[in-house]
Amino acid sequence: MNHPKENHLDPLRVLAMIHAMIEESIYHTETFAYTLNVHHNDKAAKVFHLICEQFKAEQGIVLNGTLNVDLPTIPPWEEPYTEYIHPSSVLIHANYLMSESEAWKLMHEMVEIHKRFYTFLCKENSVNTLFSVVDQLVNYCNDCGEKNKRLEAKAETNRSKSSEDIDIIALHSNEGGLW
């Protein structure tokens, strides 16, 4: 096994690590979007779908940077660096009844994990081609982060105004209903 520092010096290995992380993120967001749709939570599903599209755009940046070069296989247990958090780990907080704004918060965390990884790689690498690809990824994540924050704020505003979010339990307990 390569020493972690050596992993960041091999441009193809770095691109393979990025590609593996993005592939996992696409898989998990697509799966969750589908599952949320099945459970009739269309608003949260739409958020997962939009973020999945953003991850696919990141993947496009990486694939354009590899120019059809075969990337090495990265074992799933290999951590790219010591402070690495797998993007799918935030999905432990997801559930089928989550609101649109809760979905945006989770997706924001996933995008931030991607951005931290890319920022780390920018600091570790000086290979021009690799730096260019990673720099594009950092900039793309920054743009997506700003866009997603606006959408999250809009969802939160809509949520607070929505009659769907009335606390039914509190309503019944105050009226001597169910409780």
Whole-number pLDDT of residue 162: 63
| Pair 23, 85: CB distance under 8 Å | no
3-class DSSP assignment, residue 149? helix
Q: Under DSSP, is residue 83 helix (H, G, I), strand (E, B) or coil?
A: coil
Amino acid 119: pLDDT? 85
Whether residue 179 lies inside any domain: the answer is: no
Structural domain containing residue 107: 4-174
Mean pLDDT of the chain: 80
Residues 6+ apart with CB under 8 A from 97: 41
60 part of a folded domain: yes
Q: What is the pLDDT of residues 56-101, one digit of tens each?
A: 999 988 888 777 778 888 877 777 777 888 888 999 999 999 999 9
The CATH number of residue 37's host domain is: 1.20.1260
Look at residue 105 and tell me if it is in a domain.
yes
Examine the pLDDT at 170 and tell me if it is beyond 70.
no
d(C-alpha 57, C-alpha 74), whole Å: 21
Average pLDDT of 2-7?
48
Task: List alpha helices for the chain, DSSP H.
Answer: 4-7, 11-38, 42-66, 100-124, 128-161, 168-174
Token digits of residue 65:
């940077």
For the record, the structure tokens of 8 come out as 């960041």
Look at residue 127 in the predicted model and tell me its pLDDT: 59
Question: Does the structure show a pLDDT above 80 at 130?
Answer: no
Share of the chain above pLDDT 90, in %: 34
Asked if 100 contacts 147 with a C-beta cutoff of 8 angstroms, the reply is no
**Arithmetic mean of pLDDT, 126-150:** 78
SS3 for 179? coil
> Total structural domains in the chain?
1
Residue 77 lies in a domain: yes
pTM of the model: 0.74
Backbone torsions φ then ψ of 73, nearest 5 degrees: -85, 130
Q: Does any domain span residue 17?
A: yes
What pLDDT sits at residue 103? 94
Is there a domain that residue 157 lies in?
yes
161 has a pLDDT exceeding 80: no
Of residues 115 and 76, more confidently modeled: 115
Contact of 149 with 108, CB cutoff 8 Å: yes
